[in-house]
């Protein structure tokens, strides 16, 4: 895995204190926070040693975590999906992209931190999410590629085209339709995005067998507060057997499990 990228909030605070010492001194920082509508510099200064430092509990076992949520993201997404006049606002370059803004920010930050050389996507629909991921990789400036697997390949729009992006036919009910030679040669780190949620008991172990420590498997739309115990237990057994930990930094960034992938941000250990 490439060297982890840091969180630069300390640099912002340091720059303000260095270049505007009168405004951001210990005596004046509260007033400057208010006058300039910043609002968090004193909070950052008071907690500077903790700023941007990962929790020692960042990577957690699935069995340790509740399936409760601080906020149900599906409750926000569902009305938009049913309001057809709003579809142009929940697309990407005109193509369907049914991921909420919360998850797009999480993915953007994970791509920046992980610097994946390969993204594998299952279930791209029209290709809007695939194109979004490809553009994110392009912005990273790193040599990388995305391989997106879909059963209804004729539904992928011609505009979902990018030099880093390749679409493949796959019937995930039959894992033999996945090209193992392709999987074996793809460079790491990997980010696997599973929005197909099909035949997971066979698919996840197969993909995991090609993954390396530090790779991510994001399981979308599976778990919720009402997740059935049998499904949770199956997932916990998979995590235990395959060496996955839940990355709470992403699962809980906007509040506990406030994502359409609650307890679904899995990191290979």
Q: How many domains does the chain have?
A: 2
Q: Which residue range is the domain that position 18 belongs to?
A: 9-46
Q: Are residues 30 and 124 in the same domain?
A: no
Q: Are residues 177 and 217 in the same domain?
A: yes
% of the chain surpassing 90 pLDDT: 70
Q: Which whole number is the average pLDDT over 196-208?
A: 92
Q: Are residues 26 and 80 in the same domain?
A: no
pLDDT for residue 132: 97
pLDDT for residue 222: 79
Q: Is residue 53 part of a domain?
A: no
Q: Which whole number is the average pLDDT over 140-144?
A: 85
pLDDT at 144 over 80: yes
Q: Is residue 4 part of a domain?
A: no
Mean pLDDT of the chain: 90
pLDDT for residue 155: 95
Q: Are residues 108 and 27 in the same domain?
A: no
Q: Is residue 192 part of a domain?
A: yes
Q: Are residues 37 and 119 in the same domain?
A: no
Q: Is residue 76 part of a domain?
A: yes
Instruction: Give dist(CA 236, CA 243) in Å, integer.
Output: 10
Q: Are residues 121 and 191 in the same domain?
A: yes
Q: Are residues 72 and 37 in the same domain?
A: no
Q: Is residue 2 part of a domain?
A: no
pLDDT for residue 257: 93
The CATH number linked to 116 is 3.40.50.150
pLDDT for residue 1: 45
User: Would you say 190 and 120 are in contact if contact means Cβ atoms under 8 Å apart?
Assistant: yes
Could you report the per-residue pLDDT of 64-86, keeping only the tens digit for each? 888 888 888 877 776 666 776 66
In which band, very low, low, confident or very high, does the pLDDT at 223 lie, cut at 50, 70 and 90? Answer: confident
% of the chain surpassing 70 pLDDT: 91
Q: Is residue 51 part of a domain?
A: no
Q: Which residue has the higher pLDDT, 18 or 72?
A: 18
Q: Which residue has the higher pLDDT, 2 or 160?
A: 160
Q: Is residue 54 part of a domain?
A: no
pLDDT for residue 157: 96
Q: Are residues 219 and 240 in the same domain?
A: yes
Q: Is residue 1 part of a domain?
A: no
Q: Are residues 65 and 109 in the same domain?
A: yes
């Amino acid at each position: 895995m490439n060297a982890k990228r840091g969180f630069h909030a300390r640099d912002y605070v340091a720059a303000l204190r260095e270049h505007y010492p009168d405004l951001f001194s210990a005596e004046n920082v509260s007033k400057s926070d208010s006058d300039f509508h910043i609002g968090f510099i004193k909070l950052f200064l008071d907690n500077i040693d903790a700023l941007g430092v990962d929790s020692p509990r960042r990577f957690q076992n699935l069995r340790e975590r509740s399936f409760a949520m601080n906020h149900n993201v599906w409750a926000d997404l569902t009305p938009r999906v049913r309001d057809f006049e709003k579809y142009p606002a929940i697309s990407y370059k005109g193509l369907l992209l049914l991921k909420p803004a919360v998850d797009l920010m999480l993915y953007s930050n994970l791509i920046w931190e992980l610097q994946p050389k390969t993204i594998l996507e299952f279930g791209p629909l029209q290709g809007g999410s695939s194109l979004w991921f490809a553009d994110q990789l392009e912005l990273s400036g790193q040599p990388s590629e995305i391989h997106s697997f879909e059963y209804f390949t004729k539904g992928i729009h011609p505009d979902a085209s990018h030099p880093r992006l390749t679409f493949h036919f796959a019937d995930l009910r039959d894992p033999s339709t996945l090209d193992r030679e392709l999987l074996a040669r793809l460079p790491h780190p990997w980010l696997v995005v599973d929005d197909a949620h099909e035949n997971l008991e066979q698919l996840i172990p197969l993909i995991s067998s090609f993954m390396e420590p530090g790779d991510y498997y994001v399981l979308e739309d599976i778990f919720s507060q009402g997740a059935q115990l049998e499904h949770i237990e199956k997932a916990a057994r998979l995590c235990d057997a395959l060496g996955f930990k839940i990355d709470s930094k992403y699962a809980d960034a906007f509040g506990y499990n406030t994502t359409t992938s609650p307890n679904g941000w899995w990191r290979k250990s």
